[in-house]
Structure 1
């Protein structure tokens, strides 16, 4: 018999055992008045599947009433525990009917019960099914991840979302509640879109918040009133994070005004090297990574994760570039809301630019479509007024259906048999890939302005072949660093 069928049968039988057994030996009281519920379970199953219960139901810890183990958990809601208990018995769960905050509560309780295999599954569900909620409540999710180190997937999701706009967390009330390990994970990233001096000031603010109760000062912000003991306490608080500040990327004036007052926090050797850097501008080696942090892409439509994936498509890589390996800059040349949505505006500013990426957002949605043209868009056959096909085997079109992420991204390269029809160059209209595979005509912000119909490219990038409007589009010149 197939092993999956065996596992399904076992799961089903254990589920029936949870509902109908008459040999329970564990009572679990969950919740707080007036919402308290009693559950019944088998101690051997709980101990086998949960290290937490293995310890809690041991002879040294367990509380008994007669022959029954008794366990009380007032900080977990009955609804959350019901889901967890079903998972312990059957290895299955269904979160579709639960609101997102309750799912967060389930994952926190699962961390407490040390269900290490359950947690990644819940994280994946949240990221795939409730990503909009996570983005809206990202500051609270960051704090939850800081308090629960097992939430790796959620932490990475938040980092990816925040690194373009890190001030959302650095300037939030939650920032000073982050723990040390989380601060290290955050500040060491290369893709934080902040000036180094802002990161330094944030670290100092975080450090002061950790020790404010130990400072005998009317205003802990006034560094001129700090005693040597105060500085020593602050240095010990931030010493593990301090090496990830890239002092060589702080301008001399900012260093003088905002770092020098705290020079006693930095070792004398490191501080001397910093000063020599400013004197002779020599290669400076203090931080573990000396790479300049990568700023955000100048776009209202895509983020760096989209750009790195698009760049990997340009170079026909099997896997996406990372922020550290990204070999291109996306130089913004046209933005619809600034330059206009007419084909005349596109031709005026974009016709003569080589190696371009177009991205556009479908009106009243988050869907993003785009294309790559390694050539120019200009109608350069002066002896002929007729429009013509421009061949190229490198061009492609693409879409990001949900816009916010790269999940379910669609890449459609030119069909090799039709590479001579890669782009259709028009004198009096917008850019066109193939024969309306991706075509922007007339006014791009009108309902008849854009269309995507599969002809010469390998895949269709939209389900619908009806024309539509975009509420933003951008043209980038791709420049190798």
Structure 2
């Protein structure tokens, strides 16, 4: 179709949006004291929103008089709904002048109204044009996106392995708390995803090329042991200079598995904290506690854990001997203290 015809069509529907004379649907939006009733056309709502299409077909909709239909949507603010309703009519939305909280509200409304194209557009906009906001507002946005299963692209931007509760738990451990995390304690660090095996490669060379000299980091590994998630935190930077680094602040951990195993925290006890060799991936402890040893991190025959320099074994059996595992995925996060920014 000629693009000009699409522009003309959008303008025609924009005119319809602004002229409620033939409207037969009235939508009460918001909660007191901020409420507003919007007029709309049932045929257009039916065609553009699966959510409204389903409601229009339901027998429970309340009819006011004649063929007029009333909906009540208390979960969306009038300002946000006007933006979304205009999109329903015109297929256009402008996000350039919206702050991050408003964009998240629009995304939430799009999810409630099953506007899949708008959901994908907003995610693309944030990932392509507002990455700095995604990092600056890490705690707010990451908590938000992990509560909505339809926001996969934003979830993957933060992590494919960690849930928000996992991030909160790791943050609590970094702050020196050994007890279970609590939702009342705010996250005090940003976690910048800098390396993902399936995206950047599983070789030791790629690990060091991307992750060396980045300051404090968290390594997260998905194993073939009941999909168990294990990992480690190092306060010292990784490097390729063939020497060990202090264990001050270091710990390794398990976040449990699909069988309901509880998280395990294992803080550094003695010996080296991490070992930094060009030919190896990340190594915690005296070459034993948590090792991605081979050049080929993903299917390396020497990926293993054994209790040695850290206080507690993180995989069953590792307190007695070496426990090997395959790496299904791994991610590395640069840890940035918000107070130091």
Instruction: Answer yes or no: same fold by TM over 0.5.
Output: yes
Retained in 2: the 8 A contact 1:449–1:469?
A: no
- 1:245 aligned to 2:76? yes
Aligned length: 230
Deviation at 1:389, TM superposition (A): 2.0
Retained in 2: the 8 A contact 1:388–1:425?
A: yes
* Aligned match of 2:249: 394
Distance verdict in 2 for CA 1:294–1:327, change over 3 Å: farther
- In the alignment, which of 285, 294, 298 is matched to residue 445 of structure 1? 298
- Alpha-carbon distance between aligned partners in 2 of 1:253 and 1:213, rounded to the nearest angstrom: 24
Distance verdict in 2 for CA 1:316–1:213, change over 3 Å: same
Deviation at 1:253, TM superposition (A): 4.7
- In the alignment, which of 162, 166, 171 is matched to residue 311 of structure 1? 171
- In the alignment, which of 288, 308, 313 is matched to residue 455 of structure 1? 308
* Aligned match of 1:414: 268
- Alpha-carbon distance between aligned partners in 1 of 2:245 and 2:312, rounded to the nearest angstrom: 20
Deviation at 1:279, TM superposition (A): 10
The Cα offsets for residues 89-115 of structure 1, whole Å up to 9 and x where unpaired, read as: xxxxxxxxxxxxxxxxxxxxxxxxxxx
Q: Counterpart of 2:145 in 1: which secondary structure?
A: coil
Retained in 1: the 8 A contact 2:293–2:300?
A: no
Unaligned segments of structure 1, at least 5 residues:
1-200, 218-224, 261-277, 381-386
Higher relative contact order (CA 8 A, sep 6+): 2
Q: Counterpart of 1:307 in 2: which secondary structure?
A: helix
The Cα offsets for residues 107-138 of structure 1, whole Å up to 9 and x where unpaired, read as: xxxxxxxxxxxxxxxxxxxxxxxxxxxxxxxx
- In the alignment, which of 283, 307, 321 is matched to residue 432 of structure 1? 283
- Alpha-carbon distance between aligned partners in 1 of 2:212 and 2:306, rounded to the nearest angstrom: 23
Deviation at 1:392, TM superposition (A): 3.3
Deviation at 1:453, TM superposition (A): 0.9
Unaligned segments of structure 2, at least 5 residues:
1-48, 91-95, 106-139, 147-154
Deviation at 1:336, TM superposition (A): 1.1
- Alpha-carbon distance between aligned partners in 2 of 1:463 and 1:399, rounded to the nearest angstrom: 11
The Cα offsets for residues 167-192 of structure 1, whole Å up to 9 and x where unpaired, read as: xxxxxxxxxxxxxxxxxxxxxxxxxx
Distance verdict in 2 for CA 1:364–1:413, change over 3 Å: closer
* Aligned match of 2:323: 466
* Aligned match of 1:475: 332
Pairing of 1:99-114 with structure 2 (within 5 A):
none
Distance verdict in 2 for CA 1:254–1:352, change over 3 Å: farther
* Aligned match of 2:192: 331
Deviation at 1:396, TM superposition (A): 0.4
- Alpha-carbon distance between aligned partners in 1 of 2:207 and 2:97, rounded to the nearest angstrom: 48
| Higher relative helix content | 1
Pairing of 1:42-441 with structure 2 (within 5 A):
212=60, 214=62, 227=68, 230-231=69-70, 234-235=71-72, 238=73, 242=74, 244-245=75-76, 250=80, 253-254=83-84, 256-258=86-88, 294-296=144-146, 297=155, 298-317=158-177, 318-322=179-183, 325-363=186-224, 365-379=226-240, 387-403=242-258, 407-415=261-269, 418=270, 421-435=272-286, 436-441=288-293
Retained in 2: the 8 A contact 1:400–1:409?
A: yes
The Cα offsets for residues 415-448 of structure 1, whole Å up to 9 and x where unpaired, read as: 1xx2x51111223211111112001112122251
Q: Counterpart of 1:337 in 2: which secondary structure?
A: helix
Retained in 2: the 8 A contact 1:359–1:370?
A: yes
- Alpha-carbon distance between aligned partners in 2 of 1:437 and 1:280, rounded to the nearest angstrom: 47
Deviation at 1:308, TM superposition (A): 1.2
The Cα offsets for residues 261-306 of structure 1, whole Å up to 9 and x where unpaired, read as: xxxxxxxxxxxxxxxxx9998x99xx9xxx7762234322221121
| Higher relative strand content | 2
Q: Counterpart of 2:323 in 1: which secondary structure?
A: coil
The Cα offsets for residues 49-106 of structure 1, whole Å up to 9 and x where unpaired, read as: xxxxxxxxxxxxxxxxxxxxxxxxxxxxxxxxxxxxxxxxxxxxxxxxxxxxxxxxxx
- Alpha-carbon distance between aligned partners in 2 of 1:389 and 1:280, rounded to the nearest angstrom: 48
